[in-house]
């Protein structure tokens, strides 16, 4: 693929802007400054250096973000900054979007990609992907509440009981809840149906993926290789 075309596909601007990046000497490969926008390069495994910053080439972007509180999972946020503002401009330019949503006050594991087919597989109700939440409650967690969450609680928009796939107390005011379906404010509404209230909510797992302990709030990382495959439903 021609270098300027590859830069364009990675989100570094229009074709002409990418040609200008190369002609201005802002693109390097393996320490070599490239000055020909039409140079043929092999994308597989390639790491570009653009304006001094390394950029691994990915045909499709697959991102794991530690979402902080105070961000909306929307391309057009209404009250808070978008989670997309935490990503570099090339990822925003190429159309990366969140896989599902977390409330603005919910923290934790959020996946983003520009692969539409992957978004469909990840969000399809047929997949029953487990999502793990760490919940802090207003009142102490007791066995009766846990039993209700496991056995099923009724929400105000559906007479069919909603059950947790797994549920356990992790402290006096904390519990770990695993869900395999997604509804509006589901965790908060389920906990409220037991007579308690969610004070803080954090997603620690999505499918086979877990939020890395060394990834601070607001930070992100590429998913690739076996780790990416582990997180993708068949």
Can you give the CATH number for the domain in which 10 is found?
3.10.290.10
The stretch 158-164 carries a mean pLDDT of 87
> How do strand 220-222 and strand 62-67 relate by DSSP bridges?
antiparallel
When comparing pLDDT for 205 and 159, which is higher?
Answer: 205
Based on the domain organization, do 146 and 112 belong to the same domain? no
Beta-carbon-side half-sphere exposure of residue 157 (alpha carbons within 13 Å): 6
pLDDT in tens, 9-38: 999 999 999 999 999 999 999 999 999 999
Provide the residue range defining the domain that includes 137: 130-206
Based on the domain organization, do 115 and 219 belong to the same domain? yes
Based on the domain organization, do 137 and 200 belong to the same domain? yes
pLDDT higher than threshold 80 for residue 158: no
Instruction: Report CA-CA distances (Å) from 154 to 132, 190, 194.
Output: 20, 8, 10
Answer yes or no: 115 catalytic: no
Can you give the CATH number for the domain in which 182 is found?
3.30.70.1560
In the set 35, 36, 54, 103, the catalytic residue is 103
pLDDT higher than threshold 60 for residue 226: no
Tokens for 162, please give them: 């909603």
Q: How far is CA 13 from the centre of its chain?
A: 24
Given a contact cutoff of 8 angstroms between Cβ atoms, the answer to whether 182 and 101 are in contact is no
pLDDT in tens, 77-120: 788 889 999 999 999 999 999 998 899 999 999 999 999 888 88
Based on the domain organization, do 202 and 169 belong to the same domain? yes
pLDDT in tens, 47-77: 999 999 999 999 999 999 999 999 998 877 7
Model-level pTM? 0.89
Based on the domain organization, do 9 and 120 belong to the same domain? no
Long-range interactions of 95-98: CB distance < 8 A, separation 24+ = 96/61, 96/63, 98/73, 98/74
Residue 64's contacts (CB-CB under 8 Å, 6 or more residues apart) are 109, 110, 111, 209, 211, 212, 215, 220, 221, 222, 223
């Amino acid at each position: 693929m021609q270098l300027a075309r590859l830069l364009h596909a990675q989100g570094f601007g229009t074709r002409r802007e990418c040609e200008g990046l190369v002609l201005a000497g802002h693109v390097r490969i393996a320490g070599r400054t490239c000055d020909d926008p039409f140079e043929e390069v092999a994308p597989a495994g390639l790491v570009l250096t653009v304006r001094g910053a390394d950029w691994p080439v990915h045909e499709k972007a697959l991102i794991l973000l530690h979402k902080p509180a105070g961000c909306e999972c929307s391309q057009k946020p209404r009250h808070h900054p978008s989670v997309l503002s935490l990503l570099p401009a090339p990822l925003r330019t190429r159309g990366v979007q969140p896989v599902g949503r977390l409330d603005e006050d919910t923290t934790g594991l959020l996946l983003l990609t520009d692969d539409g087919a992957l978004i469909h597989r990840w969000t399809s109700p047929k997949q029953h992907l487990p999502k793990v939440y760490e919940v802090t409650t207003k009142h102490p967690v007791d066995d009766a509440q846990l039993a209700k969450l496991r056995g099923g609680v009724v929400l105000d928009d559906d007479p069919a009981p909603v059950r947790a796939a797994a549920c356990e107390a992790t402290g006096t005011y904390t519990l770990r809840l695993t869900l395999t379906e997604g509804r509006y404010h589901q965790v908060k509404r389920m906990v409220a149906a037991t007579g308690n209230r969610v004070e803080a909510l954090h997603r620690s797992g999505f499918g086979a993926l877990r939020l890395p302990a060394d990834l601070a709030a607001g930070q992100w990382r590429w998913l690739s290789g076996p780790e990416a495959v582990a997180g993708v439903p068949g």
